[in-house]
Chain A
Amino acid sequence: MGNNLDALTTVFTEFYYWVTVVFMFLIHVGFCMYEVGASRRRNHLHTLMKNTMLIPLVTITFFYFGWWIYFAFPAWPMSINWEAAAPYAPWSENMGTHLGDRLTGVFWAAFLLFSWTAASIVSGSVIERIRSGAFWILAVLIGSFTWIIDAAWGWHWDGWMVHILGYHDAYASGVIHAIAGGFALGVLVVLGPRIGKFADDGTPRDIPPHNTWLVTIGLFLIYTGFWGFYAACNVPIISPSGIDGLITGETWTATNIYLGPTTLSAITFNFLMSLSGGLMMGYMVSKGDAFWTYSGGLAGIITASAGNDLYHPIQAMIIAGIGTWCAYKLHFWVERKFKIDDAVGAVAVHGYAGFIGLVICGFVLWGAPSSPYDGYATVNPLGQFAGAIIMFVVLGFIPAWICSKILNAMGLLRVPKEVELLGLDFSTDEAYEAAVAEVQSAEKAGL
């Protein structure tokens, strides 16, 4: 820190990311409430612990190799940038208590919370029949490996997708949501539906959440955490000389992850307007169903997120509505057509909405600069469509499908049929009831 302005900027940036991390923790609280509410009573604790334990597993593996990948792989597989990634290897001094580096820890944590989110999106789809051990392997695969590859490629100022495709995804329609939706679909294809989900003639049955209230409050908390997520996607303050690109003058600004200028005010407008567009469409298309209205709000934000650094708020609202309508319709069409049992609609809300959001962004922001640096392709529909395929299919669906096939072949993916019917909390519930009976009889003996 050379002078007082540098010091203030550094400490402000450090505090800014720290606050976003705390806010983003609410995403995970929301996902846990949402999943537990959606599961049946006999699967509560299994559902909760499956999701909770992805936190430490993704955290430690993101420390071991995920963070390094982000800096090493912007041009991979063509090349690996060993030099740029060296400070972020787990044995680097920067990855610890270091008085000369006040930003690596909070920046790492902001990305880590995205990693949890990616894995947690998948978690809801597969409840009530996946083995926890299998899910945790899959969680590490997406949380510390495939999503951070997509971030290096398409969510890094120097990523090859930004250079060549003009890929633009400011608030992660693709790099978090499309990949997680595609990943969930890859697992679901191998995992299969819950017992009773489909009638003999293939007609899908509704498996109602045991607690709709908990589900909707969980989604409210996810919205809240999403505010932090949006802020965390920005660089809060930087000078034109700090960017070292084509921007002229002396005006300091906030930027998106590509170092292109935006403002917190802009994304606040667009977050709220896209939330509103999604909620209104969700309510309309589902005819007032609480679950799909709340999910519609989320799908709306996700659809508009790719371009929410630059959209007009009314554009954000309309785009959100379109994405929500498509996600809702596609969810039920895929369910009927391919017998996919996505317990919480995550493939639709995150995957289809994210995919559609990327494509729409290519048209609406056509010709806008993807970077403040020279020599980058501008935003365009073809580049965005290719990006959506890379996110949903190449880094989402395919790795999940392959890993699930391997786990399934080893007998590790799904619980046995009788245990699924018995409920995944059977032994925990038995122990609980035995303890209650013992205490009650001891208390009564003292009367």
Chain B
Amino acid sequence: MSTIGYDSWAVDLADVGAVYPFQGTEFVMVIIAVVLWIAWQIWAIRNENADIQHDIDVADMKKHIKEEVDRY
């Protein structure tokens, strides 16, 4: 019993193909991976929006902008 389909390397490698664990679940893994990607994109946009709003809320605009522009 092995997650990769082989529990010994006493084989002719010419007959060996895929050796990653849980073969047969590729399609499910792809669906999970695509969901993770889209979720990450949404999180990143929300996080950036919150960050921008935070800057607007906390900055003393006149003072900080002058300081930052002078810093170049």
Contacts of B39 in A (CB 8 A): none
We find that the number of chain A residues with CB closer than 8 angstroms to chain B is 36
Contacts of B65 in A (CB 8 A): 418, 421-422
| A64 in the interface (beta carbon within 8 A) | yes
Task: Give the size category of B's interface with A.
Answer: 35 or more
* B18 and A96 contacting across the interface, CB-CB below 8 Å: yes
Contacts of B29 in A (CB 8 A): 91
| B59 in the interface (beta carbon within 8 A) | yes
- A65 CB, nearest partner CB in chain B, Å: 9
Compute how far the CA of A60 lies from the CA of B14 in the bound complex, rounded to whole angstroms. 30
Q: Closest A-chain residue to B65, C-beta based?
A: A421
| A409-441 with Cβ < 8 A to chain B | 412, 415-416, 418-419, 421-423, 426-427, 430
Compute how far the CA of A53 lies from the CA of B41 in the bound complex, rounded to whole angstroms. 11
13 more CB-based (< 8 A) A-B contacts, given A42-B71, A419-B52: A41-B71, A41-B72, A53-B44, A91-B27, A91-B29, A93-B18, A98-B18, A133-B44, A133-B49, A415-B52, A421-B68, A422-B65, A427-B51
Contacts of A331 in B (CB 8 A): none
Contacts of A412 in B (CB 8 A): 45
- Bitwise interface map of A from 77 to 117 toward B, beta carbon under 8 Å scored 1, else 0: 00000000000001111001111110000000000000000
**A132-B44, A133-B41, A426-B59 given; A99·B34 CB < 8 A:** no
Most central of A100, A137, A415, A422 by chain B CB within 10 Å: A422
Compute how far the CA of A427 lies from the CA of B52 in the bound complex, rounded to whole angstroms. 9
Compute how far the CA of A210 lies from the CA of B69 in the bound complex, rounded to whole angstroms. 13
- B12 CB, nearest partner CB in chain A, Å: 11
| B19 in the interface (beta carbon within 8 A) | yes
Listed in ascending order, the chain A residues whose CB lies under 8 Å from chain B are 1, 40-42, 53, 57, 60-61, 64, 90-93, 96-101, 131-133, 136-137, 210, 412, 415-416, 418-419, 421-423, 426-427, 430
* A97 and B72 contacting across the interface, CB-CB below 8 Å: no
| B16 in the interface (beta carbon within 8 A) | yes
Compute how far the CA of A101 lies from the CA of B45 in the bound complex, rounded to whole angstroms. 39
* B52 and A416 contacting across the interface, CB-CB below 8 Å: yes
Compute how far the CA of A92 lies from the CA of B24 in the bound complex, rounded to whole angstroms. 10
Complex A-B, nearest 4 residue pairs according to Cβ-Cβ distance, in ascending order: A133-B45, A91-B26, A93-B18, A99-B16
Compute how far the CA of A77 lies from the CA of B44 in the bound complex, rounded to whole angstroms. 33
Q: Closest B-chain residue to A60, C-beta based?
A: B37
- A53 CB, nearest partner CB in chain B, Å: 8
- A63 CB, nearest partner CB in chain B, Å: 8
Contacts of B13 in A (CB 8 A): 99
Q: Closest B-chain residue to A407, C-beta based?
A: B45
Compute how far the CA of A53 lies from the CA of B20 in the bound complex, rounded to whole angstroms. 27
Contacts of B34 in A (CB 8 A): 64
Contacts of B52 in A (CB 8 A): 131, 415-416, 419
* B71 and A131 contacting across the interface, CB-CB below 8 Å: no
- Bitwise interface map of B from 36 to 57 toward A, beta carbon under 8 Å scored 1, else 0: 0100110011001101101110
- B66 CB, nearest partner CB in chain A, Å: 9
**A99-B16, A137-B41, A421-B68 given; A426·B55 CB < 8 A:** yes
Compute how far the CA of A258 lies from the CA of B69 in the bound complex, rounded to whole angstroms. 52
| B30 in the interface (beta carbon within 8 A) | yes
Q: Which residue of B23, B55, B64, B71 contacts A93 across the interface (Cβ within 8 Å)?
A: B23
Contacts of A136 in B (CB 8 A): 41, 44
Q: Closest B-chain residue to A90, C-beta based?
A: B30
